[in-house]
Amino acid sequence: MLLTLLLACPAPDEGADSGATNDLSMLDVHGVEAPVDDDDASPERGVVLSGSEYEYDWAVIRGWVKVDAATMWQTVLNPDVAVNRRKVTEWTVTALDDEGVDEAYVVNEVVTDPIPVEYDLTWLHQGNETDGSIAVWEKTAGTDFVTLVRGGLTTVVVDDAIDFTAVFHLATIDSDTADTELFVQDFYASVLAVAHGEPLPEWGE
């Protein structure tokens, strides 16, 4: 059961206490390489790979975004871009105090179907408007029905494009690789849209 309820995300509250880790190690990308076409070395499409471990399912997407580093930095700092808007019905963002990284915040996400649950995802970003960036996120509080949510992303400047890679791990009472694949595809589509000044995509149920 998938929902698309796009809600305006409130401005981050300032000065929240931290529950974050500051491990900015990228998750395993499983050897996924960026796509290349005969007539375009940086096509704006993604390559997806997924699989399962004993405790969670995972997916990786790697693709190009044809914008500059400053635009990409502002795009990945937008919390709305990475919210699973097919399932999350509302969310709020709280800025974290100094975590030893460039940007840090907690996204509280609420899911109402099939049962009401909520959880916190803590995000850490390191980067700037000139170079590439790395970010990690993970569930740090909330429902026991969601055992594990974590991910990582990197953006690397290559000539006039950005090499974008995102990894997602998920363990819930009924999730599988279809869920992880769909999330990274939606994430990439949202990044493309926002980076090019377009509205976030909307999806039907």
The 10s digit of each residue's pLDDT in 99-114 is 789 999 999 999 988 8
**What is the mean predicted confidence (pLDDT) over 158-172?**
96
Residue 205 has pLDDT above 60, yes or no: no
Residue 1 has pLDDT above 70, yes or no: no
More confident residue, 139 or 10: 139
Confidence at residue 136, expressed as pLDDT on a 0 to 100 scale? 97
Q: How confident is the model at residue 20 (pLDDT cuts 50, 70, 90)?
A: very low
Taking a C-beta distance cutoff of 8 angstroms, is the pair 101, 25 a contact? no
Residue with tokens 């960036």, as numbered in its chain: 133
* Half-sphere exposure for 110 (CA within 13 Å, toward CB): 11
80-56-127 Cα angle (round to 5): 40
Using a pLDDT cut of 90, give the percent of the chain over it. Answer: 79
Query: Does residue 201 have a cis peptide bond before it, meaning omega lies within 30 degrees of 0?
Result: no
Taking a C-beta distance cutoff of 8 angstroms, is the pair 109, 82 a contact? no
More confident residue, 72 or 13: 72
Give the DSSP H or E segment for 70: helix 69-76
Residue 11 has pLDDT above 70, yes or no: no
Q: What is the mean pLDDT of the chain?
A: 88
Cβ atoms within 10 Å of 21's Cβ, excluding its own: 12
